[in-house]
A and B are shown apart, each in its own frame.
Chain A
Amino acid sequence: MAAHATTHPTNPDESEVYFQYEDIDQQQETYIVGMWTFIVQEIMFFGPLFLIYTLFRWKFQGGFYTYSQKLDYVLGGVNTMVLLFSSFTMALAVHYAQKKQTKEQLRCLGITLACGFGFLIIKAFEYADKFTHSLFPNNSFIWPPHGYEYLGGNPEHARLFFSLYFATTGLHGLHVVVGMICIASLMILTVRKAPTITDYVPTEIVGLYWHFVDLVWIFLYPLYYLIPK
């Protein structure tokens, strides 16, 4: 589709402007508006999960504490740090993109991508642990798990808790994967000096998305892993 990008004669930067835009400023502003609109959509997409969590946590106060004991808050905490750090490197990448320091920009994007991988690997270990203890809410779900008969709690409410846990973290994980695909594509296009990536705005909109994905986790971690007694 690159055929649709034409060099606009009035544009001094020689940045590529897609045919539907008048100039590079309009194109950039439209990208930003589009990304923010999409993020509003994403907030509403995660909204029901947080709403359902709020309602059931309110209803089953003590129970949620009991079930959350089976989540590993250390691994979750490490993952929080990993994502926070990746947000920092993402912000740096935008900074370098604005200064047109491409080498540093690519390095920062690479670190962000690696953090995404690290997050997913740690998450995979956590999930594997839940599956081995039959805590995934399918037909073989068991509460209390084998060897923990003293835990207490109600099997149905435990299923509810782990349903919400897997739905929320699973869909968040999917968003991490999408974010990583975006970062990787951005890196490839930047390395190739693709004519559509001549300014910082593509990096900025990928950054916006990545920060949103991090922000979801920032809410998710205390809500599921750090429930007070």
Chain B
Amino acid sequence: MSATTVIEQSPPTERPEKNYLNADHTLRSWIWTVDHKRIAVLYLISVTFMFFLGSIAAAVVRFELTSPWGQMLTSETYNKMFTAHGVIMVFFFIIPAIPAVLGNFLLPIMLGARDLAFPRINLLSWYLYVAGAALVLASLALGGIDAGWTFYTPLSSLYSNTQITLALVGIFLAGFSSILTGVNFIATTHKMRAPGLTWFKMPLFVWAHYATAIIMILGTPVVAMTLVLVIFERAFKFGIFSPELGGDPVLFQHLFWFYSHPAVYIMILPGMGVISELISCFSRRRVFGYEFVAFSSIAIAVIGFVVWGHHMFLSSQSVLQGILFSLLTFLVAIPSAIKIFNWTMTMYKGSVWFSTPMIYALGFMGLFVIGGLTGLHLGSLATDVHLTGTYFIVAHFHFVMVGGAIMAFLGGLHFWWPKMFGKMYSEFWGRLSAMVIFLGFNFTFFPQFMVGYLGMPRRYHFYYFAPEWQIYHILSSAGATILGIGFLMPAFYLTASLIKGPKASSNPWGAKGLEWEQTTSPPPTENFHHKPIVMDDPYDYDAIADNDDFRAHWGKEPVKYGGDN
């Protein structure tokens, strides 16, 4: 029944003892910590703060769009608002959210290691992130940036006289934070696995983070150099991306999307890793087609590097290039679909338990499918000509990023919260928040598909030429309000759980995996009281026995679907 066997000591006992949280209480012990778990908590606080700031910018954008005439903001202020929203959310929230919080916390524990390979470099990553965030916030405070999160030249390099240089330096630093995290994850996964933990016994969460780390070290340096060249172009008059100076602005787009398309997978792959864990645990079944799910992560990482041209169908690419990029884009749909089908098969005949993390996971699957399939509309040449640059694209990437990555982040956070902080949150409020977010999300972004299809351009703050679109925008803004409430709920009940939540057992979900079965909640500083040795396959769930566990813990039976299994 157990996924692992232990040499010296059997399951950890629930005694009040030293863990990584109460090991030392000084502020100094937090800001100079090299413990991956504490660094994960530092990241959790920082990305939550940035998410809050990015949400404010989004709220201003949504409020402005309730009127067709663009009455509240000037065009310039509006440009600065959506740029602030994009830059903060992309570079300082979604990219680090899952890898730097959940990945940092869990990767070493899932591998049975005491820490990441390079703990001090891990701390350096966090400091680079903070420095980058500080510079970007300074650029916003000193007048803002207006070139959009994509920073297309020559607007960003020659014409804009906002604080772009400062913001670019900040993003560059955040990029190196991400690269160092990637180096750490790769070295850890290769060299720090516990005895017996072969590659095909690793949890799929680790596979997904390994694939993410590959993208981080191959893609991020390219955009870092590109941004350096834009900085040089602004600071001196280097002429690489500005036609007036002899350069080529489309070249910037190629280099930017060479990173920023794979960056989409930096955002979604770790989320897919989380979902694999959640679906398996709450269906009480082994992940269907483990090897396929594992390799599909690697396939997504690899194919993701050769599809960037689909962002540039309308910018001076040859038709042949367009056709090839379109074809390759369609190929990425295959590994993504493999994951969705395998998760569905995992639930089939499993005992599905609708706990908070599972509701988030199911929300992820629904929204990711819509986000992914609408991506195919944008990946085919003919339809993209009509849809590109409209709210259809805005809706598409929010379905993938918010409906996908953030749902997965919240699902994972709720799943591992008891492990991270040793406290249980209110299951009622948890389930409610998952459903409110799901509802609010669809209210916000589904109307954007429709208004985008009708022709509403992105990045416009008025649409007086088609006031009949106002109803879609009002629906969307109303939905955004619900979504905002949904996002605020976890902030309250999760914080409340820290203060007065019941103490979590070492394995409140009856889940499989080293982090649940071999260590306490929260884990001690050295992660394990003994060195784990892995004997069995991952996800070795035994549905019937675990149902008894559930009854003992929760006093009720999980909902059972399908046959006997």
User: Which residues of A are at the interface with B, using a C-beta cutoff of 8 A?
Assistant: 1, 4, 19-22, 26, 29-30, 33-34, 37-38, 40-42, 44-49, 51-52, 55, 136-139, 141, 154, 156-160, 163-164, 166-167, 171
- B197-227 vs A: 1/0 string, CB under 8 Å? 0000000000000000000011111101110
Contact in complex: A166, B238 (CB < 8 Å) = yes
How far, in angstroms, from A38 to B176 measured CA to CA in the complex? 11
Contact in complex: B217, A37 (CB < 8 Å) = yes
**Is the C-beta of B115 less than 8 angstroms from some C-beta in chain A?**
yes
Chain B's nearest CB lies how many Å from the CB of A28? 10
How far, in angstroms, from A166 to B217 measured CA to CA in the complex? 25
Contact in complex: B115, A171 (CB < 8 Å) = no
Contact in complex: B34, A47 (CB < 8 Å) = no
19 chain-A/chain-B pairs, Cβ below 8 angstroms? A20-B116, A30-B190, A30-B191, A33-B187, A37-B182, A45-B222, A48-B222, A49-B225, A51-B255, A52-B229, A139-B237, A154-B246, A156-B244, A156-B246, A159-B245, A163-B233, A163-B240, A167-B229, A167-B232
Contact in complex: B179, A29 (CB < 8 Å) = no
Closest chain B residue to A44, Cβ basis: B221
Closest chain B residue to A19, Cβ basis: B114
Interchain CB contact (< 8 A) of B224 among A33, A45, A158, A160:
A45
How far, in angstroms, from A160 to B182 measured CA to CA in the complex? 33
**Is the C-beta of B228 less than 8 angstroms from some C-beta in chain A?**
yes
- B506-547 vs A: 1/0 string, CB under 8 Å? 000000000000000000001000010000000000000000
Contact in complex: A46, B240 (CB < 8 Å) = no
Contact in complex: A1, B239 (CB < 8 Å) = no
Contact in complex: A136, B240 (CB < 8 Å) = no
Interchain CB contact (< 8 A) of B238 among A34, A137, A171:
A137
Contact in complex: B186, A33 (CB < 8 Å) = yes
Contact in complex: A29, B115 (CB < 8 Å) = no
- B433-468 vs A: 1/0 string, CB under 8 Å? 000000000000000000000000000000000000
Report B-chain residues with C-beta under 8 Å of the C-beta of A37.
182-183, 186-187, 217
**Is the C-beta of B475 less than 8 angstroms from some C-beta in chain A?**
no
Interchain CB contact (< 8 A) of B190 among A1, A33, A55:
A33
Top 10 closest pairs, chain A to chain B, by CB? A156-B246, A45-B221, A163-B238, A20-B115, A44-B221, A160-B246, A34-B187, A138-B236, A30-B191, A159-B239
5 further interface pairs, Cβ-Cβ under 8 Å (given A20-B116, A47-B225, A48-B255): A20-B115, A20-B117, A30-B187, A55-B251, A159-B239
Q: Which of A33, A48, A138 has the most CB of B within 10 A?
A: A48
Contact in complex: A136, B236 (CB < 8 Å) = yes
Closest chain A residue to B175, Cβ basis: A45
How far, in angstroms, from A26 to B114 measured CA to CA in the complex? 13
Interchain CB contact (< 8 A) of B179 among A41, A154, A156, A167:
A41
Quick one: which of B324-372 are within 8 Å of A by CB? none
- B238-260 vs A: 1/0 string, CB under 8 Å? 11100011111001000100000
Report A-chain residues with C-beta under 8 Å of the C-beta of B191.
26, 29-30, 33
Report B-chain residues with C-beta under 8 Å of the C-beta of A49.
225
Closest chain B residue to A42, Cβ basis: B221
Interchain CB contact (< 8 A) of A52 among B34, B251, B526:
B251
Beyond A20-B119, A26-B192, whether A156 also contacts B225 by CB under 8 A is no
Quick one: which of B85-114 are within 8 Å of A by CB? 108, 113-114
Q: Which of B226, B233, B240, B526 has the most CB of A within 10 A?
A: B240
Closest chain B residue to A170, Cβ basis: B232
Quick one: which of B381-402 are within 8 Å of A by CB? none
Interchain CB contact (< 8 A) of A47 among B120, B184, B222, B240:
B222
Chain B's nearest CB lies how many Å from the CB of A31? 8
Interface of B, helix, strand, loop or mixed by DSSP: helix
Contact in complex: B120, A45 (CB < 8 Å) = no
**Is the C-beta of B118 less than 8 angstroms from some C-beta in chain A?**
yes
Report B-chain residues with C-beta under 8 Å of the C-beta of A139.
236-237
Contact in complex: B117, A34 (CB < 8 Å) = yes
Report A-chain residues with C-beta under 8 Å of the C-beta of B229.
48, 52, 167
Beyond A19-B526, A20-B116, A167-B228, whether A141 also contacts B221 by CB under 8 A is no
Number of A-B contacts (CB under 8 A): 123
Closest chain A residue to B190, Cβ basis: A33
Report A-chain residues with C-beta under 8 Å of the C-beta of B192.
20-21, 26, 30
Q: Which of A37, A38, A157, A164 has the most CB of B within 10 A?
A: A37
- B387-420 vs A: 1/0 string, CB under 8 Å? 0000000000000000000000000000000000
How far, in angstroms, from A26 to B531 measured CA to CA in the complex? 15
Contact in complex: A19, B225 (CB < 8 Å) = no
Report B-chain residues with C-beta under 8 Å of the C-beta of A42.
221
Closest chain B residue to A138, Cβ basis: B236
Closest chain A residue to B179, Cβ basis: A41
Closest chain A residue to B224, Cβ basis: A45
How far, in angstroms, from A43 to B218 measured CA to CA in the complex? 9
Q: Which of B108, B120, B221, B226 has the most CB of A within 10 A?
A: B221
How far, in angstroms, from A116 to B30 measured CA to CA in the complex? 38
How far, in angstroms, from A4 to B116 measured CA to CA in the complex? 14
Contact in complex: B221, A47 (CB < 8 Å) = yes
Contact in complex: B225, A137 (CB < 8 Å) = no
Beyond A34-B118, A49-B225, A154-B246, whether A44 also contacts B217 by CB under 8 A is yes
Report A-chain residues with C-beta under 8 Å of the C-beta of B119.
4, 20
Chain A's nearest CB lies how many Å from the CB of B173? 14
Quick one: which of B31-74 are within 8 Å of A by CB? 34
How far, in angstroms, from A159 to B188 measured CA to CA in the complex? 45
Closest chain A residue to B232, Cβ basis: A167
Q: Which of A33, A44, A157 has the most CB of B within 10 A?
A: A44
How far, in angstroms, from A229 to B361 measured CA to CA in the complex? 63
How far, in angstroms, from A163 to B179 measured CA to CA in the complex? 26
Contact in complex: B245, A160 (CB < 8 Å) = yes
Chain B's nearest CB lies how many Å from the CB of A137? 5
How far, in angstroms, from A41 to B229 measured CA to CA in the complex? 18
Chain B's nearest CB lies how many Å from the CB of A224? 15
How far, in angstroms, from A141 to B192 measured CA to CA in the complex? 53
Report B-chain residues with C-beta under 8 Å of the C-beta of A137.
236-239, 245
Report A-chain residues with C-beta under 8 Å of the C-beta of B247.
160, 163
How far, in angstroms, from A171 to B172 measured CA to CA in the complex? 14
How far, in angstroms, from A30 to B188 measured CA to CA in the complex? 8
Contact in complex: B116, A34 (CB < 8 Å) = no
Beyond A20-B119, A33-B191, A160-B246, whether A44 also contacts B222 by CB under 8 A is yes
Q: Which of B118, B222, B246 has the most CB of A within 10 A?
A: B246
Report A-chain residues with C-beta under 8 Å of the C-beta of B248.
55
Contact in complex: A157, B228 (CB < 8 Å) = no
Report B-chain residues with C-beta under 8 Å of the C-beta of A51.
255
Contact in complex: A138, B237 (CB < 8 Å) = yes
Report B-chain residues with C-beta under 8 Å of the C-beta of A29.
191
Beyond A20-B117, A37-B186, whether A167 also contacts B526 by CB under 8 A is no
Q: Which of B34, B217, B226, B233 has the most CB of A within 10 A?
A: B217
